Amino acid sequence: MKKIKIVFAALGIFLISQSASAQQGTFKLDLNYNYSLPVSGFKSDLINENSSRGFMGALMYSFSDKITAGLDFGFQDYYQKYPRALYNIGKSQTVSAVLTNSIQTTPVLLKAKYFPLSTSFLKPYISVGAGANVIDFNQYLGEFGSGQTNVKFRAQGGIGLLIPFAKFSSSGFNLGATYDYAPYNRFGYNNLSSINFQGGITINLK
């Protein structure tokens, strides 16, 4: 009986060590739905409605069972139509029109995740990222519109939780939240920052 217990203990230690080492030197693919809440000037000046039209993805490399890093990308569609009102369009000129703002953002970031409790079943993490933000901005007064596409800086900080599919799996369900700092300096606006909530899966690519 004692020998059987020793064998099972050794087997357990072997499986845990193999699981941990299997997470090193591998690629992981994150695929997440993204729900975005404009904040600060973005909310007060441009879009006061939340956006449910977005996704986030990432290709991450596991340097250890605690640290992954790679390329993060996403897309979010914001849309706001304001009731008809009077707007100044020049000196002593006003127009009665419906104002519509349509903004699409496509961030591409270098990102890293840190898993402080990598040996536990539930794996909380913190993340940081920085990179480029492709912004497609269109504004309409009635049927007359103007717009620009620009590339700006974007930085991100977040927290999340990886829930493995099985006990020794490095793939699983992902839940997370991020704050995205997104400066902007066109049309008199200077802020496209947001709070975002994600849900999706992480797949281990072998």
- Residues of the chain with pLDDT > 70, as a percent, come to 85
- Report the predicted TM-score, pTM, of the whole model to 2 decimal places: 0.82
Fold classified for 2-78+105-205? Porin (2.40.160)
Distance CA 150, CA 162 (A): 34
For tokens 């993340």, name the residue. Answer: 127
Compute the distance between CA of residue 127 and CA of residue 205 in angstroms, rounded to an integer.
20
Within 10 angstroms of residue 202's Cβ, the number of other Cβ atoms is 25
Give 108-154 pLDDT, tens digit per residue: 999 999 999 988 999 999 999 999 999 999 988 877 767 899 999 99
Q: What is the pLDDT of residues 71-88, one digit of tens each?
A: 999 999 999 998 877 777
Q: State mean pLDDT over 96-119.
A: 93
For the chain, the domains span: 2-78+105-205
User: Of 161, 164, 152, 168, whose CA–CA distance to 127 is shortest?
Assistant: 161
Q: What is the pLDDT of residue 90?
A: 66
* pLDDT score of 178: 98
- pLDDT category of residue 16 using cuts at 50, 70 and 90: very low
Per residue in 153-195, pLDDT (tens digit) is 999 999 999 999 988 788 999 999 999 999 999 888 999 999 9
Contacts of 186 (CB under 8 A, 6+ apart): 137, 148, 150
